[in-house]
Structure 1
Amino acid sequence: MSFRFVNIFRNFDESLIDLANNPENPDYSVFNARYLNRDNNILDYKSWFPDFQLAGKFSKLSFEYEYRKLFRNNRQFNFRFFAGKFLSNNTDSNFFSFALDRPTDYLFDYSYLGRSEDTGLYSQQIIIAEGGFKSFLDERYRFSDNWMATVNTSFNLWRWIELYGDAGLVKNNGFSEKFVYDSGVRLNLVTDYFELYFPLYSNNGWEISQPDYGEKIRFIITVSPKTLTGLFTRKWF
């Protein structure tokens, strides 16, 4: 069980006054309470947590469950479920919204290589959190200011080559809920530490046949020494 109170105060150079006045760059404070239960076993991994956040302009509740099973024939199945709901929301941007494919990380929990990038290689880094999607879908569905529920699954075809699929519902205020999905190939080289995702089919259609496919490829890479130590402290059997 963890409780924390996070205060973020931003300092801007005088020449960046437009950024300072941007509603997507606010000063804010968030109270966060979470209970985490994890069995870090490579053969039968289980983890789940409820999470509550309270701030001046919003309050939200979310739940995540993850399960991984490694079978005797070396086949692996992965399942993850996420659901999040705003209890109140008076924000005027998506900065605090639930994210389908790339959380804004306003609590600074994730090891982004490029935290603010919207284009370029760094923007293709993926953190499996919140929606957990790999495809960049329409801007209307990439965030939710009401509620979101998603499922992420994958299973291996041969060694570290896997097929993945994601599906879910996204509800924004003033709009009907939207069914979203994507699928593709995952190269699970070292789970949680080095992975590549190649989208195939989603709400966007056949992504592999669309222009600039290289910009759609997502990756997980870990460079933080603190995070890397988890690879060696994992319970293998």
Structure 2
Amino acid sequence: MTATTKKTNKGAIEVDSDGPKSIIVIGAAEHNLKHIDVTIPKNTLTVVTGLSGSGKSSLVFDTIYSEGQRRFIESLSPYARQFLGMLEKPKVDFMAGLSPSISIDQKSVSRNPRSTVGTITEIYDYLRLLYARVGEPHCPQCRKKIEPQTSQQIVDRVLRLKEGTRIMIVAPIVRGRKGEYRKEFKDLMKKGFVRARVDGELIEIEEGLSLDRYFEHTIEVVIDRLSVAKKERARISEAV
């Protein structure tokens, strides 16, 4: 790691070539700030508190956020910048360690109790797409990587179990949703299914069966129950 030296009216400041581990603000004088110096560590939750009029918003919004946005816009192409416009540089002698920033004003926060920084700023949709396309899902219990399998691969994997092992083949109907599901149970009966696993408990499917509508439920219909044996390959294949 190498370091470079930045000169300010406060003296020389050494900054790592791969970026400082903190946001460094020297000589902030925006609005009612009196040339203050601040060092804010990265990758932590930092709260700025103080009396009304002490300069909290001037430091956070009008200095740090404003300069982060200004530098981000300057990094874009001239074509993109013409649609965004240029921001004025805040009154500050020196700043380092800034990244593209997001600001949420307390007056604009949604009243929805389920809102988060991601949903309010609309980056949630991009993060969801990123995890879906680039992420590698793993089982939360055994930690093994989840990969798509063909029906034949599933059957071969089942047959590798110890001879005589009892297995139950189920298919998901509902996962973590509220409702009574009378219609779903009635349709399963018409198709000839007699058992289902509801919230982890095995039950018989009967006429008029319904669940508590105010609780979330997970319903899996039982396709077959059998013991592992090579002679059962056709039966397992049909169930899968």
- Indicate the structure with greater helix content: 2
- Indicate the structure with greater strand content: 1
TM over 0.5, yes or no? no
Bigger Rg, structure 1 or 2: 2
TM-score, normalised to structure 2, is: 0.24
